[in-house]
């Protein structure tokens, strides 16, 4: 909102801003804000449902007793996040998956525990969710990028994103194999 008002003040001083433009900018800002709040409201309702149903607790118990290694469980969650990234935006995906995934992660043994586990899992989650947003064939962020370069075919945009996808995949593997990578700086700041 501050950016909107500052930009509008500059444009009105220069004589470029008309009253209709100002009203359109305010309505656009209100529409975007309402959309974000609706996503938050929906996720909050969804999370309340999970809380009442105790589904995350049952899922955590199931995975603790499943005999699967913690890394297999984590890789399954990563794969699901990448798939969800094909059809969901970042905020929705995080708000819907973390309340389900966190009790499962907290219930199995990983090389890090406590507050460090929260940080490690949070970093992995954010990276993987972003990777999902550039994954073929839907990758919403790739379509946003391609809309800015209208003369570039979408397949070329996906080819251009491929090195970033591969580097993110390597980065996630390193963070999983060596959790200390994500924890060095927080440990130094303690």
Asked if 92 contacts 43 with a C-beta cutoff of 8 angstroms, the reply is yes
Decide if pLDDT at 59 tops 90.
no
Q: How does DSSP classify residue 71? A: H
pLDDT band, very low/low/confident/very high, at 4 (cuts 50, 70, 90): low
State the average pLDDT over residues 107-114.
Answer: 84
pLDDT band, very low/low/confident/very high, at 171 (cuts 50, 70, 90): very high
Return all residues near 39 (Cβ < 8 A) that are at least 6 apart: 89, 91, 92, 95
Tokens of 147: 């809309």
- Smallest CA-to-CA distance from 128 within 74, 181, 187, 182 is with 74
**Residue 133 CB coordination number (10 Å):** 21
What pLDDT score was predicted for residue 15? 65
**Number of domains forming the structure of the chain:** 2
Q: Note whether 83 and 168 are same-domain residues.
A: yes
State the average pLDDT over residues 88-113.
Answer: 83
Q: Note whether 71 and 156 are same-domain residues.
A: yes
Q: Note whether 83 and 114 are same-domain residues.
A: yes
What pLDDT score was predicted for residue 130? 86
Q: Note whether 49 and 65 are same-domain residues.
A: no
Decide if pLDDT at 185 tops 90.
no
Helices 55-64 and 90-107: crossing angle in degrees, nearest 10, is 50
Q: Considering the entire predicted model, what is its pTM?
A: 0.70
pLDDT tens-place string over residues 74-96 = 998 888 888 877 777 787 788 87
Q: Note whether 166 and 138 are same-domain residues.
A: yes
114 or 54: which leads in pLDDT: 114
What pLDDT score was predicted for residue 163? 92
Domain residues for the domain of 141 are 55-189
- Per the prediction, the chain carries an average pLDDT of 81
DSSP 3-state percent helix, strand, coil across the chain (nearest 5): 80, 0, 20
């Amino acid at each position: 909102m501050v950016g909107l008002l500052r930009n509008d003040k500059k444009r009105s001083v220069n004589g470029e801003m008309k009253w209709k433009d100002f009203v359109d900018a305010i309505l656009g800002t209100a529409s975007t804000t309402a959309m974000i709040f609706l996503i938050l409201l929906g996720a909050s309702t969804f999370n309340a449902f999970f809380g009442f149903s105790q589904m995350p607790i049952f899922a955590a118990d199931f995975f603790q007793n499943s005999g699967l290694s913690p890394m297999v469980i984590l890789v399954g969650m990563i794969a699901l996040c990448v798939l969800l990234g094909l059809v969901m935006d970042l905020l929705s995906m995080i708000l819907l998956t973390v309340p389900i995934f966190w009790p499962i992660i907290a219930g199995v043994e990983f090389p890090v525990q406590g507050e460090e586990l929260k940080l490690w899992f949070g970093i992995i989650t954010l990276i993987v969710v972003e990777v999902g947003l550039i994954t073929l064939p839907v990758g919403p962020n790739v379509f946003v990028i391609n809309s800015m370069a209208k003369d570039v075919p979408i397949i070329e945009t996906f080819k251009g994103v491929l090195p970033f996808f591969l580097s993110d995949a390597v980065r996630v593997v390193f963070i999983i194999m060596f959790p200390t990578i994500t924890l060095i700086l927080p440990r130094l700041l303690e």
